[in-house]
């Protein structure tokens, strides 16, 4: 009984937490003046984000809610599609001055077996791209976010940088990036670029990687080329000996070394086991097999019965001709080779000499191109990927405050919901747990002094049963009613004073003739029966009894 009470209280706590999370997300500050750019997707993206019209990108973007929340996001709605959409910023964002923070949320509602969920921060359109033609070739400054397929499982951070010597743009990939969370919860990804060239990657506010954009240990290829390179014209001398060991030229093969001796010989000491059936074959014709009626000897050849294991051999040590087993030849030595000795002419492994690198350059800071647009250009085998709360800021404290108000309430509610599902007392997963939840709510709705509201409460519960993923508000409303009842039970309530009219009616009733009193009693009885019938009306349960 105690476990049932704990389960009930735990359920109420989960429902209140989900309702609280939804309220926090809806009441988050609308003052985005502290952000350089912020997109909450509370409103439809059409007219603000531009979907690529390129032929390859047929994936349909939708403005939809995150599962279990009232919070909207940008949804990848179809499997095995290419998607491309872009938002052109009002003003380009410089990556050269001060701190720049890039942050966004993703939720892999159906997991991610193979595909990307990253963002591209694009260069100005003067670089040669158009919003309606946004594709994989559109030039970007930074690419950041999850990517998973096969052996690939990483949170990318890639930046493109113009080589000041060659004028070519080169992709520089973060070495040893963090891996992608493997669950189906909301996660927030943050990249912080500091003016001292430091890069920090955060997942859910936790620091996962620190790097320096100028370091060859952190990026491949390195942003700054090496000072020296191998001389491409240097050739290895013909007399250069790279052999550390050589056969001993003075060694001689021993006279008793027989290179022709076989590795194995017959075991002369072996004896044939008693009971060996020399005259019995290992296989015999199947005595139960018969020649098919449609067999034609001229066309199909002479028919032969299929073979089966000889049953006489099962009880005997063996059948057929007995042969001595083989054993290793003690005289076997194999091919003779002279032993190795140190090479007196060994000069080591040759490599060309180093010369100054003609492409070398020095930088104190990267020459990043500005961010003029934010694009999502991905290929994925999964649907259900939801993007939300895209932020560009100039202070990591701003990004932290947004995580607290937009991501954390959702994530906490999802974790609690997941925990409740994992602790469900019976197998059957979420469906079984939901069924028990609604059974509990129906029992609470049967409290006697709720009889006047019972049908309305049933309607609310039934709506929750029909749409279990869209009922946060409904369940929160039921919880509020139940909590009100709970406090009334604990603290009690004032009795409703009897009005003077009621006292007069009562007096009149007592002084009326018996016939009138009887008629009124019958009417009251019918009215009470009607109320009782209404309060005990059958429950219109659509799914609970299935």
How many Å apart are CA 273 and CA 446, to the nearest integer?
85
CB 267 within 8 A of CB 325: yes
Domains within the chain, CATH numbers bracketed:
35-229+364-417 (2.60.120.200), 430-486 (no CATH)
Of the candidates 410, 443, 460, 419, the one whose C-alpha atom is nearest the C-alpha of residue 24 is: 410
- pLDDT per residue rounded down to tens, the chain (546 residues): 444 444 444 444 444 444 444 444 433 444 456 899 999 999 999 999 999 999 999 999 999 999 999 999 999 999 999 999 999 999 999 999 899 999 999 999 999 989 999 999 999 999 999 999 999 999 999 999 999 998 899 999 999 999 999 999 999 999 999 999 999 999 999 999 999 999 999 999 999 999 999 999 999 999 999 999 999 999 999 999 999 999 999 999 999 899 999 999 999 999 999 999 999 898 999 999 999 989 888 888 999 999 999 998 988 999 999 999 999 999 899 999 999 999 999 999 999 999 999 999 999 999 999 999 999 999 999 999 999 999 999 999 999 999 999 999 999 999 999 888 888 654 455 555 566 666 777 767 677 666 666 676 777 776 666 665 544 555 666 666 666 666 665 655 444 444 434 433 444 444 444 444 444 445 455 555 554 444 444 433 333 343
Q: What are phi and psi of 506, to 5 degrees?
A: -65, -40
Contacts of 384 (CB under 8 A, 6+ apart): 75, 76, 108, 109, 110
CB 87 within 8 A of CB 93: no
Q: Give me the pLDDT at residue 459, please.
A: 72
Q: Give me the pLDDT at residue 79, please.
A: 94
pTM given for the model: 0.60
Record the tokens describing residue 111, joined without a space. 């997991």
Q: What are phi and psi of 323, to 5 degrees?
A: -130, 145
How many Å apart are CA 483 and CA 461, to the nearest integer?
16
Q: Give me the pLDDT at residue 477, please.
A: 66
Q: Give me the pLDDT at residue 116, please.
A: 94
C-alpha 455: how far from its chain's center? 42
Contacts of 491 (CB under 8 A, 6+ apart): none
How many Å apart are CA 42 and CA 60, to the nearest integer?
18
How many Å apart are CA 216 and CA 222, to the nearest integer?
4
- At residue 235's C-alpha, the angle toward residues 231 and 238, to 5°, is 160
How many Å apart are CA 32 and CA 273, to the nearest integer?
93
- Report DSSP state, residue 499: P
Q: Give me the pLDDT at residue 481, please.
A: 65
CB 447 within 8 A of CB 458: no
Of the candidates 193, 204, 530, the one whose C-alpha atom is nearest the C-alpha of residue 368 is: 193
Q: Give me the pLDDT at residue 452, please.
A: 64
């Amino acid at each position: 009984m105690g476990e049932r009470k704990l389960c009930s209280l735990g359920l109420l706590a989960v429902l209140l937490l989900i309702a609280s999370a939804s309220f926090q997300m809806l009441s988050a500050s609308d003052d985005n003046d502290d952000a350089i750019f912020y997109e909450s997707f509370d409103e439809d993206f059409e007219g603000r984000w531009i979907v690529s019209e390129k032929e390859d990108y047929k994936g349909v973007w939708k403005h939809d809610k995150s599962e279990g929340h009232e919070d909207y996001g940008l949804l990848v709605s179809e499997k095995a599609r290419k998607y491309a959409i872009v938002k052109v910023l009002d003003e380009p964002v410089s990556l050269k001055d001060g701190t720049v923070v890039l942050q966004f949320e993703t939720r892999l509602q159906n997991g991610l077996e193979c595909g990307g969920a990253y963002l591209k921060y694009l260069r100005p359109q003067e670089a040669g791209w158009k919003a309606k033609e946004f594709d994989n070739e559109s030039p970007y400054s930074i690419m950041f976010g999850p990517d998973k397929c096969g052996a690939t499982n990483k949170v990318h951070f890639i930046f493109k940088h113009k080589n000041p010597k060659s004028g070519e743009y080169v992709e520089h990939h973060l070495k040893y990036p963090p891996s992608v969370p493997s669950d189906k919860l909301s996660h927030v990804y943050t990249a912080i670029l500091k003016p001292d060239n430091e890069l920090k990657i955060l997942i859910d506010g936790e620091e996962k990687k620190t790097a320096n954009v100028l370091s060859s240990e952190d990026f491949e290829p390195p942003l700054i080329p090496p000072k020296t390179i191998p001389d491409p014209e240097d050739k290895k001398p013909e007399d250069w000996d790279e052999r550390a060991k050589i056969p001993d030229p003075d060694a001689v093969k021993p006279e008793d070394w027989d290179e022709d001796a076989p590795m194995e010989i017959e075991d002369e000491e072996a004896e044939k086991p008693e009971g060996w059936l020399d005259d019995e074959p290992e296989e015999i014709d199947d005595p139960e097999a018969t020649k098919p009626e449609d067999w034609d000897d001229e066309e199909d050849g002479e028919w032969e019965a299929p073979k089966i294991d000889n049953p006489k051999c099962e009880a005997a040590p063996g059948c057929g001709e007995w042969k001595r087993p083989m054993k290793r030849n003690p005289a076997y030595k194999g091919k003779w080779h002279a032993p190795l000795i140190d090479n007196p002419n060994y000069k080591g492994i040759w490599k060309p000499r180093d010369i100054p690198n003609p492409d070398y350059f020095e930088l104190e800071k990267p020459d990043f191109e500005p961010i003029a647009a934010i694009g999502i250009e991905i290929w994925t085998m999964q649907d259900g990927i939801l993007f939300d709360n895209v932020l560009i800021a100039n202070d990591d404290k701003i990004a932290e405050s947004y995580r607290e108000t937009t991501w954390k309430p959702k994530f906490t509610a999802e974790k609690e919901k997941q925990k409740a599902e994992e602790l469900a007392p019976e197998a059957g997963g979420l469906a079984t747990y939901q069924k028990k939840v609604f059974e509990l709510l129906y029992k609470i709705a049967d409290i006697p002094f709720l009889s006047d509201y019972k049908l309305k409460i049933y309607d609310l519960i039934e709506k929750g049963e029909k749409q279990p993923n869209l009922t946060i508000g409904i369940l929160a409303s039921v919880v509020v009613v139940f909590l009100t009842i709970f406090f009334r039970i604990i603290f009690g309530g004032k009795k409703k004073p009897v009005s003077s009219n009621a006292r007069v009616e009562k007096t009149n009733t007592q002084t009326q003739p018996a016939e009138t009193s009887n008629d009124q009693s019958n009417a009251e009885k019918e009215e009470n029966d009607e109320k009782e019938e209404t309060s005990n009306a059958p429950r219109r349960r659509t799914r609970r009894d299935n």
